[in-house]
Amino acid sequence: MFRRSILLYSSCRRLSSSSLSRMTPPRFTPAQRVAKFDQDVWSIFTPLAAETKAINLGQGFMNFGPPAVVQNAAKEAIERVEANQYSHPKGRPRLRNALAASYSPEFNRQLDPETEILVTAGANEAMFATFAGYLDEGSEVIVMEPFFDQYIPNITMNGGKPVYVPLRAPSHATTQNISSSEWRLDTDELQSKITPRTKMIVLNTPHNPIGKVFDEDELRAIGKVAEQHDLIILTDEVYDRLYYPPLTKFPRIAALDEFWNRTLTVGSGGKSFASTGWRIGWLIGPEHLIKYAFAAQTRVVFCVNSPCQEAIAAGLEASLTQPLFKDQTANYLQKRAKLSKVFDDLGLPYTSPQGAYYILVNTSKIRYPADYVFPDILHQRGDDFKMCYWLTKEIGVCAIPPSEFYMKDHWPLAKDFARFAFCKTDDVLDQAVDRLKALKKYIL
């Protein structure tokens, strides 16, 4: 094999660069599991925002760095030889211990860092590894719609089939502001989607893009369905440190009744410590569930970015004695107020989020010029892609079209919405607010 690649390499070298460029590149058939993927919304709108110099309230990343304690720990870790090498595939002991210390009170149980915690390459890979660990060809996974877009390919790439159940907003949401708590799941509808092939229910709280924090009654109703049909609950709680008053506590399904035994909870260092590019996430759950996600993960990434694990551990350790999360929430609360106000002033109704950092705005009153020319690629997407494109290019503020969070047949449900992220510094939010004021003349 080695000799063959050397031969290939030397024969290539004999070709002049001009003869190389005349060769048609070979065409290979992609695997069915990826062949039909559309371009994802993030790689359309993040570059568009950059090209057009729009203020990017689209993709949910911060324009500020991690807290000093976390940044300093990352720098120190890079200076330590050992912290630059492979970690234990379960995660570095320091991080698993810090997670146990931070999360045990949250789950009302003493978490075992050896068996009940798995450090993952971001929350996304935590979910991928869980699907890989539990789905067989044709296994069905219940997903609430709207859903965070990555769930679907993560399920299908592992042979699973997503089955959708809607979260519905009340009808007055088109004319007045509502709380994200008013988006509701109908438990009978959830029941009706279960078949003998159903393996798992995916929950997301605080919810992206709605901001809904499921209350204990709602969680119990979902948990009971899971119990009745013996399903796994995979709960994406990456925004767990960001929930707003009047909520004083973040309800976790794994901490209620007997649901711990069937639940895997996903968390995120990126969201909690403004480090979305570090890809440090985790899974928390009982040993009998974690172990197959761990088995799959070991064969995908083997282990996770070592120095950044040390740094997230330092952040969690600091949070035990310092009000890091409380201060962060207070900052986000102000940001939510700042961005909400411009939509109030413009008379655009929105869902006020109980958690996370997105505002879902109803755009039906905005009229962009009828003859506005959109790139072809947008004609194959939901109508909200056009609205968000126009907002980005002409108003100078980028938002995400939420039809990306619906299956294709349901794209029309999202046509009048745009998702704005407020995980930005105040000066940037102020500029965005100024630009958004220019919408006034386009509003009916």
**Which residues sit at the interface with ligand GLN, rule CB under 6 A?**
42, 59-60, 150, 208
Tokens 């709380």 sit at which residue?
179
Q: Cβ 39 to ligand GLN, closest distance in Å? A: 13
Residue 42 or 442: the one with the smaller Cβ distance to ligand GLN is: 42
Nearer to ligand GLN, 310 or 404 (CB): 404
CB 306 within 8 A of CB 83: yes
**What are 327's two structure tokens?**
């201060």
How do beta strands 263-268 and 350-352 pair?
A: unpaired
Cβ within 8 Å of residue 86, ≥6 positions away: 302, 303, 306
CB of 133 to ligand GLN, least distance (A): 21
Single out the residue of 36, 33, 38 nearest to residue 378, CA to CA.
Answer: 38
C-beta of 213 vs 255, nearer to ligand GLN = 213
Q: How many residues does the chain have?
A: 444
Output the CA angle 31-37-43, nearest 5 degrees. 130
CB of 206 to ligand GLN, least distance (A): 12
Which tokens sit at 279?
């890809």
**Closer to ligand GLN by Cβ: residue 83 or 400:** 400
Backbone angles phi, psi at 219, to 5 degrees: -65, -40
In whole angstroms, how close is the CB of 46 to ligand GLN at the nearest point? 8
Q: How far is the CB of 399 from ligand GLN (least distance, A)?
A: 11
Q: Between residues 112 and 145, which has the closer beta carbon with respect to ligand GLN? A: 145
Residue nearest to ligand GLN (CB): 60
Helix axes 93-107, 306-319, angle to 10 degrees: 40
Q: Where do we find the tokens 């929950």?
A: 203
* Residue 356 Cβ vs ligand GLN, minimum distance, rounded to whole Å: 9
- Minimum Å gap between C-beta 359 and ligand GLN is 13
Residue closer to ligand GLN by CB (options 59, 191) is 59
Give me the least distance between CB of 318 and ligand GLN, in Å please: 24
Please, which residue, 209 or 349, has the CB nearer to ligand GLN?
A: 209
- Minimum CB separation from ligand GLN for residue 420, in Å? 11
CB of 360 vs ligand GLN, minimal distance in Å: 12
Angle at 336 between CA 332 and CA 338, to 5 degrees: 115
Other CB atoms within a 10 A radius of the CB of residue 232 amount to 20
CA distance 262 to 230: 8
Among residues 239 and 411, whose Cβ is nearest to ligand GLN?
239
CA distance 421 to 419: 7
Q: What is the number of other CB atoms lying within 10 angstroms of the CB of residue 269?
A: 30
Let me know: does 203 contact 253? Beta carbons within 8 Å.
yes
Token look-up 């907003």 returns: 169
- Locate all alpha helices (DSSP H) within 108-186, ordered by sequence: 122-134, 151-156
Of 60 and 206, nearer to ligand GLN (C-beta) is: 60
Question: At closest approach, how far in Å is the CB of 339 from ligand GLN?
Answer: 15
Q: Which is nearer to ligand GLN, 67 or 402 (CB)?
A: 402
Measured CA to CA, the distance from residue 187 to residue 226 in angstroms comes to: 11
The answer to whether 402 and 384 have CB atoms below 8 angstroms apart is: yes
Cβ nearer to ligand GLN, comparing 150 with 298: 150
Per DSSP bridges, beta strands 281-284 and 117-120 are antiparallel
Identify whether the C-beta of residue 196 lies closer than 8 Å to the C-beta of residue 227: no
